[in-house]
């Protein structure tokens, strides 16, 4: 675009001094106008490039980012409409990404690793947090400990962080899982099976854990124990690579908006829990317990070698190592083939958005 400025002279002859002053003044104003016009044009172009909607995949349950759903904070931050696509399990998220039905998702580390291994064009951009008390093993009253699971029917959501935690807990306690009847079910199906008396125990997340407890169940194990032993169990945020490459600014704004919601929750957990409870029409105690069961890691800490890495594609990051452990688990249960497991998952773990979001 070319910008031109015309000067209309009322007098035929001007002194050199007056002409110089006019030119300098005119150029100054023109430069300022040009800068303002370019800025406006840039903003207009950016607005024109915004997608009509950004599609978020969510599990439908109580999570801190639901604060942004309730208040419309994501729309405000990203400047466009948000479409919330609900899923029942990590397998659904993989299918949604594969069919280009979602752009960003909060889901478990196990399905994320499974998807990446199968060539899903996604990258991990951040953590919702470490799973601690949000996922627990609920059992019938006659089961006293993990050893008591032998000969029992134990349900779990397939290819999930809960299944990973269950398998790791059994391995750490040297319990032969072949002596346990392991049953993959979706969370809602777990509650139904429990009510019918078809299962003896279940490793799952809230609010389903609280529903099992109301039906006579009791907790004997929680994922916190695994994190304390150095086995990272977490939910991650993942994005379609194509979307991230086209709209890196939106990915950064998304992460910032999420951190704002974590900050809101930490300032007043009770008020935040009440807001989400009302919005989702769920009992307050279920929401409060579930939200408190996540260890929220600040974005600036996530952009470190302990988690996603201080640089993009950090081979030595905590998640690069954790994803390899998860892949081994998925191979052991027949979910993946060893020949398909890459040397490293670091190319699909990108901390550059976190780094930019914390500047």
Per-residue confidence at 89, pLDDT binned at 50, 70, 90? confident
Spatial strand order of the sheet with 218-222 comes to 181-184, 153-156, 201-205, 135-139, 218-222
- CA 126, CA 303: separation in Å to the nearest integer? 8
Question: Cis link prior to 43 (omega < 30° from 0)?
Answer: no
pTM score, two decimals? 0.80
DSSP 349: B
Does the pLDDT at position 330 exceed 90? yes
Measure the CA angle with vertex 325, ends 97 and 330; round to 5°: 55
Whether 115 and 97 have beta carbons less than 8 Å apart is answered as yes
HSE (CB half, 13 Å, CA atoms) of 51?
Answer: 19
Does the pLDDT at position 42 exceed 50? no
Neighbours of 284 (CB within 10 A): 14
pLDDT in tens, 268-313: 999 999 999 999 999 999 999 999 999 999 999 999 999 999 998 8
Long-range contacts from 94-103, C-beta under 8 angstroms, 24+ separation:
94/118, 94/120, 96/57, 97/121, 97/122, 97/238, 97/240, 100/240, 101/55, 102/55, 102/56, 102/57, 102/240, 103/51, 103/54, 103/55, 103/56, 103/239, 103/240, 103/243
Q: Span 16-27, mean pLDDT?
A: 36
Nearest-CA neighbor of 74 among 298, 240, 253?
253
- From residue 322, alpha-carbon distances to 55, 140, 307, 315 in Å are 27, 32, 9, 11
Per-residue confidence at 90, pLDDT binned at 50, 70, 90? confident
Spatial strand order of the sheet with 294-295 comes to 81-86, 53-58, 104-108, 234-240, 122-131, 294-295
**List of domains in the chain:** 51-133+233-357 (3.40.190.10), 135-222 (3.40.190.10)
Strands 122-131 and 234-240, bridge-based pairing: antiparallel
Q: What is the CA radius of gyration of the chain?
A: 26
pLDDT in tens, 108-138: 999 999 999 999 999 999 999 999 999 999 9
pLDDT value at position 12? Answer: 36
**Least confident segment among 10-14, 187-191, 289-293, 332-336:** 10-14
Q: Which residue has the higher pLDDT, 39 or 23?
A: 39
DSSP string for residues in 225-283: HHHHTT---EEEEEEEHHHHHH-HHHHHHHHHHHHHHHHHHHH-HHHHHHHHHHHHT--
pLDDT value at position 25? Answer: 37
pLDDT value at position 49? Answer: 86
- CA 203, CA 187: separation in Å to the nearest integer? 9
pLDDT value at position 34? Answer: 53
């Amino acid at each position: 675009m070319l910008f031109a400025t015309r000067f209309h002279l009322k007098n035929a002859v001007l002194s050199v001094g007056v002409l110089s002053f006019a030119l300098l003044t005119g150029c100054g104003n023109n430069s300022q106008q040009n800068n303002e016009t370019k800025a406006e044009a840039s903003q207009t172009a950016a607005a024109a490039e915004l997608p009509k909607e950004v599609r978020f995949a969510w599990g439908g349950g109580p999570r801190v980012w639901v604060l942004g759903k309730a208040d419309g904070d994501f729309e405000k931050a990203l400047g466009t409409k948000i479409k919330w696509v609900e899923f029942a399990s990590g397998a659904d998220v993989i299918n949604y990404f594969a069919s280009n039905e979602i752009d960003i998702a909060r889901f478990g580390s196990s399905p994320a690793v499974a998807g990446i291994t199968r060539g899903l064009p996604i990258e991990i951009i951040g953590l919702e947090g470490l799973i601690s008390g949000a996922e627990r093993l609920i059992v019938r009253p006659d089961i006293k400990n993990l050893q008591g699971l032998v000969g029992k029917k134990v349900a779990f959501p397939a290819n999930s962080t809960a299944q990973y935690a269950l398998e790791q807990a059994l391995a750490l306690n040297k319990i032969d899982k072949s002596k346990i009847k392991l049953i993959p079910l979706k969370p809602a199906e777990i509650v139904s099976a429990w009510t019918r008396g078809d299962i003896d125990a279940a490793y799952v997340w809230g609010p389903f854990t609280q529903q099992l407890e109301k039906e006579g169940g009791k907790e004997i194990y929680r994922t916190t124990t695994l994190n304390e032993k150095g086995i990272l169990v977490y939910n991650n945020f993942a994005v379609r690579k194509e979307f991230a490459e086209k709209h890196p600014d939106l990915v950064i704004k998304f992460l910032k908006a999420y951190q704002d919601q974590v900050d809101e929750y930490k300032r007043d957990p009770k008020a935040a829990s009440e807001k989400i409870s009302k919005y989702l029409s769920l009992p307050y105690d279920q929401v409060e317990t579930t939200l408190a069961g996540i260890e929220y890691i600040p974005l600036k800490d996530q952009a470190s070698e302990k988690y996603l890495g201080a640089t993009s594609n950090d081979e030595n990051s905590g998640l690069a190592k954790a994803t390899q452990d998860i892949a081994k688990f998925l191979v052991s249960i027949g979910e993946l083939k060893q020949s398909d497991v890459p040397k490293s998952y670091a190319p699909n773990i990108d901390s550059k958005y976190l780094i930019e979001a914390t500047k």
